[in-house]
Chain A
Amino acid sequence: MAKITYRQALNQAMAEEMERDPSVFLIGEEVAEYQGAFKVSQGLLQRFGAKRVVDTPISEAAFSGLAVGAALYGLRPIVEFMNWSFSFVAFDQLINNVGSLRFMSGGQFDLPMVFRGPSGGGTQIGATHSHCPESWFAGVPALTVVSPAFPEDAKGLLKSSIRSNNPVFFFEGERLYGLEGEVPDADFLTPIGEAKVCREGDDLTIVSGGYSTHVALSAAEALSANGKEADLIDLRTIKPYDFDRVARSVRKTNRLLIVEENKPFAGWGAQIAYDVQHRLFDWLDAPILRVTGLDLPQPYNGKLEAQVLPNVERILAAARQLLA
């Protein structure tokens, strides 16, 4: 085990997979010479050369579409969006092409590709740069949506995503890149679709993902100081999410709180809440609650943004309501 940052974990995952499979390449803005806008691709140009670490003009639609073509032809592109908010320039490629080509061609083509980059708010860069589009993409049937919260999972899940024969939309976080954690030295894969229990408790279940997992963890610690213990489940994969792991916990605690950064309407937590009430109705002692981003475009002002994002205070308020 070595202690490395989330950023280094992603870097190692790409380097190891590029080493292993010559058809894997990285493409995006500032990924090569600048070493990545957030330095996630540090050193990859030097190691793998400009053929496999490709700087692009600011042309998201074109390079995303190009990656689709390369994947149809048999390569395994990793596409970096400097920020997931910029992926909307390429929405047609992502939804119509990545989302449909395999199916529409009667299964003749594979799309073994990863789209990755940071998403989410909390750095005061305003409404156009702070989107959390996990749920929007999860609404597309053919897409797999992954959002690791810890360095180990970042590495293991990115490696799995690169090896997957299906398109994976991989959500990182600017606020996560500097986070340190233990990561195994040996080659390992983290399975897509499996949640992780970060903390055990019998009083309520909290389900979260990505950066929000860390906020939920702080809230769970505050609850513990007040004598209430939460089971905290970090989803890791948003779609397909690990219903069984959530169900096991809900059968134990009978109370469910979902913490997600995206906006409330049709956020992924709404799907989980639907599934749980539908399949575990008799196990619930209280209505399921969700703490989400507030239904506003992201404000620049820092105090407001902190209120708009899921925060410890709002999670505790929800937990109190659930436990009352």
Chain B
Amino acid sequence: MVADDPAVAVAEPKAPASSLSPEIQIDLYRQMVRIRRFEEKSAQAFMRAAIKGFCHLYIGQEAVAVGALSVLEARDAVITAYRDHGVALARGTPARACMAELFGKQTGCSHGMGGSMHLFDRAHHFYGGHAIVGSHTAVAAGLAFAQQYENTGGVTLCLLGEGAVNQGVFSETLNLVSLWKLPIVFLIENNDYAMGTSVSRSSAGLPLVNRGSAFDMAGRTANGMDIEDVRAKVAEAINLARTEHLPTLLEVNTYRYRGHSMSDPDTYRTKEEIEEHKKSDPILLYRRKLEGRQVLSDALAKQIDADARAEAQDALTFAEQSPEPDLDFAFSLRFSAEDQIDPIPRPRYSDI
């Protein structure tokens, strides 16, 4: 046994081996780095006004989307709120299409109509990008309803911010999914703040995972700075949804490093608080863990970082060089074509 060797015993204790294959571990790490670098590029582009409107960064929360989405199958559905860049990337939406959307370009995943908060990607079963707080949680139930109706074997993962739990529609939805046993997992990304309001100022009955118990829903919590913990807890919940048709409410504790959006002066918390959380940075922690397991070498980590930077730069260049959508194209998006009834006249009601 290696542990009996006195020469090894004085060395640093090794991290326990993971049940995950080295390939999976490296991929989890890579996906988080991709998102971090993409978001840093987005921030720079916003600062020079190439990205407009609202821009909510995912920095600090990477382990949540990456860990959670890593256990999904292609047929599963994913839906989230407006802090959606990391979720789209983790789902497989190309960085180019995401960045082009942030730039409002024709080549963006929503063809320039949605912007940062409204990324959509049907091909990857990514149902958005939703900016009315709480609203998408009911839509998520509808995805799960349809999956059950059509017997696809797919499940729905719905991410929401902790601020969204206080919308009435969320409570109504929890009741429905539990009553009707829909194959869905609600994942609360609890990053402590909804804009400037800390969770303790907005929500009674903490922890938030309790919100499911009135409806007899399974509830679990996970450490959102530990990607393998997120992955394991989401895997259990997804399994429950897929095999037993039982919904779960997960509360994943995480932290956002940047302001609520790029426009937030971020004066409601101290620099020290932010720095303290950065010590448990999900990327840093996982890198150390993988190095300890000798799954990740320094050279490979550098390579992953260089690739992620190159991908973000490529996405940026692509976005900058892409064409803008025009008005006729925008009008063409208003209505679906009819094929079961006669076409419906669609006047524009404005000739000037």
Contacts and interface: CB of A to CB of B under 8 A. Distances in A.
Contact of B330 (A263, A265, A299): A299
A125 B112 contact: no
Contacts of B166: 57-59, 62
A186 B291 CA distance: 70
B115 A124 contact: yes
Interface in A289-321: 289-292, 294-297, 299-304, 307-308, 314, 317-318, 321
A23 interface: no
Nearest to B348: A295
Counting from the closest, the 6 A-B pairs by CB-CB distance are A300-B115, A124-B53, A57-B166, A301-B104, A34-B196, A264-B349
Given A59-B167, A126-B114, A318-B352, A304 B325 contact: yes
A30 to B, nearest CB: 6
A126 B168 contact: no
A58 B164 contact: yes
Given A126-B118, A301-B325, A302-B104, A58 B134 contact: yes
B203 to A, nearest CB: 7
Contacts of B271: none
Contacts of B132: 85-86, 88-89, 128
B334 interface: yes
B9 interface: no
A314 B113 CA distance: 22
B185 interface: no
Contact of B52 (A59, A85, A124): A124
A129 interface: yes
A271 to B, nearest CB: 15
6 contacts: A34-B197, A123-B53, A126-B114, A128-B132, A292-B350, A295-B350
A286 B130 CA distance: 45
Contacts of B112: 299-301, 304
A129 to B, nearest CB: 6
A85 B131 CA distance: 10
Interface string B168-204: 1100000000000000000000000011110001110
A37 interface: yes
A33 B269 CA distance: 12
A170 B227 CA distance: 47
B301 interface: no
Contacts, number: 138
Interface residues of B, number: 43
Interface string A96-109: 00000000000000
A289 B352 contact: yes
Contacts of B330: 296, 299, 304, 308
A307 B348 CA distance: 14
Interface of B: 52-54, 104-105, 110, 112-115, 117-118, 130-135, 163-164, 166-169, 194-197, 201-203, 268, 324-327, 330-331, 334, 348-350, 352
Contacts of A301: 104-105, 112-113, 115, 324-325
A134 interface: no
Contact of B327 (A89, A265, A307): A307
Given A58-B163, A61-B168, A126-B131, A30 B325 contact: no
A55 interface: yes
Nearest to B346: A295
Nearest to A85: B132
A110 interface: no
Interface in A110-149: 123-129
Contacts of B135: 89
Nearest to A310: B352
A303 to B, nearest CB: 6
B197 A128 contact: no
B350 A125 contact: no
Interface string A264-300: 1100000000000000000000000111101111011
A153 interface: no
Contacts of B113: 126-127, 297, 299-301
Contacts of A34: 195-197, 268
Interface centre among B169, B194, B202, B352 (most CB of A within 10 A): B352
B104 A57 contact: no
Nearest to A88: B132
Interface centre among B110, B132, B203 (most CB of A within 10 A): B132
Contact of A30 (B195, B324, B326): B195
A31 to B, nearest CB: 11
B118 A58 contact: no
Nearest to A65: B168
Nearest to A90: B168
